Structure formats: C-alpha cells, structure tokens
Amino acid sequence: MLKSLLLGSAMVLALAACSSSQAPSAAVPPASATSAAAPSASAATPAAAASSAASVQSATAAAASTAAAGDTPVPPPADSGRWVEGKNYFRIEPAVPTDHPHHVVVTEVFSWGCPACNQFQPFADTIRASLPAYARWQYLPASFIPPEDWPTFQRAYFTAQAMGLDNPATHDAMFKAIWTPGAPLNTYDGLGTARPRVKQNLPTIADIARFYARHGADAKTFEATAQSFAVNARMKRADQLIKAYGVDSTPTLVINGKYRLNVASAGGLQQTRELVLYLAQKEAAAMQLKQ
C-alpha cells in the first residue's frame, strides 16, 4: 500500500505545494493529477490511517519501554554526504527553541485547506509512526492563504486542540471533510473535475463546530472557544513561528526549530522520511539524548 501511495502521490506533491505567494486558484492540483492521483490517495487514506493508528500504538508502547530502560546516548548519524545543507534541507537562523527541551520536535507546517497537505497526510502518518522515542511530532497550522479559508482552519485547529479533540482520527477526518467531493467542508466547487473553483461561501467556524460535534464536541462550546483569548494567542504565535522558520509553502517539515525541508528539497516522499530521521538523530546526538 505504501509503495502505491508513494507512486500515486509523488507527482501531485511536486506540483501542488501551497505557496504563500501564489494566486489562490494555483493551490488546486492540475486536473490531470487530480483525476489520476487523488482518487487513489483518497482510497488509501482510511486504510493508511488505520494502519498508522496501529503503528502509533505499537511505537508508543515500545517507546515507553525504551524510555524506561534506555541509557545509551544517541550516536550521530553516519554522514555519507547524501544530505546537503542548503540543498536538501535548510538551516533556520537563529534557531527557534521548542517547548520540549528533552525531545527532538518534528513540526509539520500545514493547512487543512492545502491540497498538497491533503495528499501528504497519509505519508505524514507513516513518518510520525516511525519516529524514535526521543522525537515528538506536532502540527503547526498556517494562515497565509485567506482566500481559501486558511485562517478559519487555523482557528479551528487550535480550538480543537484546546478542547482535547486534536487527534489522528479527527485530523484525517478534517482533510476528508474538505477534499472529498460533496463533503460538508469543501472549499472548492467542482472537486474531481477539470475546473474546480474556490467557493463564494467558504466554511465558517459554525460549520466546523457542527463537524466536531460528530466527534464529541459541543458545537456551541466549540464556537465560543474559537473566539477565546487563548485561541487568538495561539494563532498569533503560530504566525510568528512560521515567519521565524522561514516557511513560505506547505507542507514543510521543521526539525527541532533548527532545520526545515520539504518533499521537493528532499527529493521525494521516501527521501523525506529518511531525511527527517537523519536530522532527528543528528539533533538528538547534539542534545546528548538517550535512546
């Protein structure tokens, strides 16, 4: 399944990265890519998510066992010259400290409204599941394409997080609710056709609250929380971090606030996973973490 996902998604990802400087309509994958690749990715997503959930549970149990007994320092990764700074990954200067000083933090800068992030999500699940015990995965929602509802989705993400509703199941379900033709949170009319168009009436927080009501939320509480000081502060902080990281397209991966990369710079999906693990180990060794 993973092999077919890699083949089916690589071209879409290469063509459809969502940039802060592009025209809104350019965020939609080309019609040929949409018709050829998106259905296979959509079909693979539920199984990939289920497989990922099982892998995450297994990895979590293994990590807990390792953390309890591990006292061996993480060694530096072998430097074969394969990964070149400034080409495959980029140093963030100055580095941005994370909130987890005893872990390497892998951050995906994304938006639910980004078609490339939707295509990438099943593979993001596999990267997250393959991280060693000393690494942590987190999401950071971007807001830099307002005409496609990104600020609303950013607000919704932090609202769900504040209410304890941010988990792999709801995260994947939000992508499906936006990018499945006819689903309740579509941002484009004509998904799956040659000429998708940005909708005039984009999803609102009230619409998203109704979605989360199916996942255990009280819709009115969700709407109220969305306008809270805490959520506004998290949104402001997210925009500041994304600027500090130098991120201008999604999906982008940031390793411990020090390095950033994307699928294009890494050279492909499988290379992205390998580069993330390489940089995570490099950071863990520099931090003298134990494995």
Give the side-chain half-sphere CA count within 13 A for 1.
15
CA–CA–CA angle 95, 99, 104 (5° rounding): 70
The reply to whether 40 falls in a domain is yes
Strand-pair partners of 139: 108
**Tens digit of each residue's pLDDT, the chain (291 residues):** 444 444 444 444 444 588 876 544 444 443 333 333 333 333 333 333 334 444 444 444 444 444 444 689 999 999 889 999 999 999 999 999 999 999 999 999 999 999 999 999 999 999 999 999 999 999 999 999 999 999 999 999 999 999 999 999 999 999 999 999 999 999 999 998 999 999 999 999 999 999 999 999 999 999 999 999 999 999 999 999 999 999 999 999 999 999 999 999 999 999 999 999 999 999 999 999 998
The reply to whether 267 falls in a domain is yes
Report how many domains make up the chain.
1
Phi, psi dihedral angles at 269 (to 5 degrees): -70, -50
**Domain range holding 144?**
2-286
The reply to whether 152 falls in a domain is yes
Region label for 81, one of left (φ > 0), alpha (ψ between -120 and 50) or beta (otherwise): left
The reply to whether 259 falls in a domain is yes
The reply to whether 240 falls in a domain is yes
The reply to whether 60 falls in a domain is yes
The reply to whether 291 falls in a domain is no
Look up the CATH number of the domain holding residue 166. 3.40.30.10
Q: Residue 243 belongs to what H/E stretch? A: helix 229-245
